[in-house]
Structure 1
Amino acid sequence: MDDNDKKELSSWLQYFLVGGSVFAMHFGGSSMVWPMTWGKESGNQMFLAFLGIFITSLFLVFMGYLSLVKSNRSMLSMARQVSNKFAIILGMMVMLVLGPLFGVPRMSAAAWDAILQVSKFKPANIWPALIFSAVYYLITYWFISEKTGIVDKLGKILLPVLIVSVTVIIIKGIVNPIGPQMAPEYDINPFAYGFKSGYATAEILCALIFGDIIINGLKSKGIGKEYLNKNLKIVCVIGIALLTFTHFGHMLLGSFADSLGDLKYSALYTEVVLKLWGQVGGIIFNIALVFAALTTAVGMSAGSAELLSEISKNKVPYKKSAIFILIVSAIISTTGLTTIVEIIGPLLDIVYPAAIVMVLYYALVPNLDNKPRILSSYRVATFIALTWGIVEGIVTYGHIFNFKVDWLEKFIEKVPGASLNLSWLTIVIISAVITMLLYRNKEEASTN
């Protein structure tokens, strides 16, 4: 170890700035606007709904970072424990979904939609959207062009704007609620609603690719290799604590918004801040959403570029990977937020189960690589999770593109957990248990 290596950051302000960068990368467009809709739909049961959301949208994110810390591996390295081919397939799918096909273009499309809504601007052609995309992605490239500078730029430039604007909105909404809390809009248990809604954010995937960005940031501040994991854990706790505050605050605001009818997501958020602050609120919201979308686009672009570089064994260097991802993202973003979510969104559901399985095994099982029986069940469970995700993806795309797979859909519906989109979990648990039993029988047979 170099004598100049640090064991920890020099101050709690530095910890807050790096932890704030974790928060900023996750906050994004969806984590900013979805919680208010969850709160509106939950009404006077929002506290119970928040508990469900906390588990699947926040605690699982922490588990994602914990799996990186405990395994001392990257997401791709975890997947290679199944097989090299599996790692390449899963890695490419995650890179494409979080990068150029869905995650990154969704952020810029959401920011553009918000600008149009607040400004009431109605472009006559596609040129304004193209110009916005060009500027947006040039700024994004400036942030991600140097891997070691990303965390500093986020913490010092974008984080303060996010924290101030969001805190102002939340405090104003709590002090002067726009209406009473009403009964939930749904019929299911509020905790189950929250569990299912939080699961849909798929933030755990982001944690798996943001880890390298944060580690590079810690290295740039002189943290020694032996102390990276300890410091990664600290800054991730800070980041997720900030996310918990904003999720809860936005849900509480939304719970008072029953009078706003059927509005959801950015439309609901815009209307709430307009009610609270008038036209000034619209400006605050626009600034906050554009910056939120930019921070997550930065994280997703950098993480996806790093992943593509790792998959190609650096045959496609980081900078070239970043440029490729941003160019494709700029093109995809011009199709509009609705198209992106409807057509590409289901790919997220395909890869998400496998990511959760990887995270839970590595976060909960100490020294997994040295436990052959459990490692064997990990390999089977992760492979089955991705396979089942593909099966459910076929059904989803059958609805989108109108080809019949009724028999497959009926089969999935019969699996326990299907009503919560957790049929994959049932299949994975069964396959993992069977694998461990077979492995034990094999061990017993070999000793006899």
Structure 2
Amino acid sequence: MWEIAGPAVLASVSQFSIEFVSTAFVGHLGDVELAAVSLFQNVTEGFAYGVMLGMGSALETLSGQAVGAGQLNMLGIYMQKSWIISGVTALILTPTYVFASPILKLLRQDKRISELAGRYTVWVLPQLFAYAFNFPIQKFLQSQSRVWVMTIISIAAIGTHVLLNWILVTKLRYGLLGAAIAGDISWWLLVLAQAIYIFSGFLPDTWTGFSSSAFKSLAGFVKLSVASAVMQCLEMWYFTALILMVGRLRNPQTAVDAISICMNLDIWAMMVALGFNAAVSVRVSNELGAGNPKSAKLSILVTTLTSATLGLVFTIIILAFKNQFPKLFSDQSLVIGETSKLAHFVAATIFLDSIQPVLHGVAVGAGWQYLIAWINIGCYYVIGLPLGALLGYKFNLGVRGIWSGMLIGVLLQTIILLGMILRTNWNDETLKANERMQAWG
């Protein structure tokens, strides 16, 4: 498990840190700039990122099970199918970037913050198309346990990003434009480096060149991709809704800044769990494809316990440094104070988010995307968000009330997923994987 999870954790943390670093540099430009970038990251980009990452999850299921079944020649075809679908999806999502400012105003966000966020969103449009290529490449490499290459490239990309931000934002004082340019360059360097590795002949069994077969039988692939995207989006849009709800409170600038800092920390910690998500997805899909249900069950147990232990460590760190971590992102005393008050909520969320992504990885490895989408709707949008709105607005609990509702939704979903996995007949899942490989291979 660690052979996959270790480098996958480093890769996930490094890639997310591109946004993390941008937030840290922008936060010292001013509180309005921080709020604008945070609004973009948690609303516009959160929407697009969820769609693009979800579209790639279909590749994760099929590639992992193909490796287990020994159908290595199909991996390159699957990745090309995913590129086509993700590229078209990026084109469809482009208007949400171009018209981000009026969309945010329509969602009743602060006018000044929305206008600045809209300008920044147009500048980072190239990153949307980088996602369309990056996520399929990630799933392609992960399914073969070639995660160290991805990790080394990701670490190099974040190092480049820090240097570019220091030059463009701090030294040349290009402000938000400098941060956007740094992000665009870093993401495309990441994609190009991974593509060069694949095209250079290091994976002769799985990459045999471009093929017209990628355009055949796209309908079934689109169906699974859309189901994966819906599952992923319902997860990520839950956090987007949280930001939008906070943006309608009194003094939204300080509230948005505080909750954005907390969300950045939570998502950064979640990137570690996403490394275990990748590991358990690869292990479960490989073992199901190979017809080994007992190995699949053992992988789930080991990965869940390991990720939960690390989540507990992060929870303790947040509580121990609750008055210090906000200073990484802001110099404003109001923002620092408000962020510190949310430390207990961040800590609880981080612990739950160390378990939940692993359970999602099991679902993707087994091909349960449709079912998880319905569970997300019930836990998040029928229970979590309405409860958060009730506590935040009706009972005047503000940010803490809204976050409490979100936490209850996450907790409920985690319990349901655990129950599903414990009751699953893994012998049946092995047969389903075999049927899927016969149909797709």
Do these two structures clear the TM 0.5 threshold for a shared fold by scoring above it? Answer: no
What is the TM-score with the length of structure 2 in the denominator? 0.25
Which gives a bigger RCO, structure 1 or 2 (Cα 8 Å, sep 6+)?
A: 1
Higher Cα Rg, which structure: 1
What is the TM-score with the length of structure 1 in the denominator? 0.25
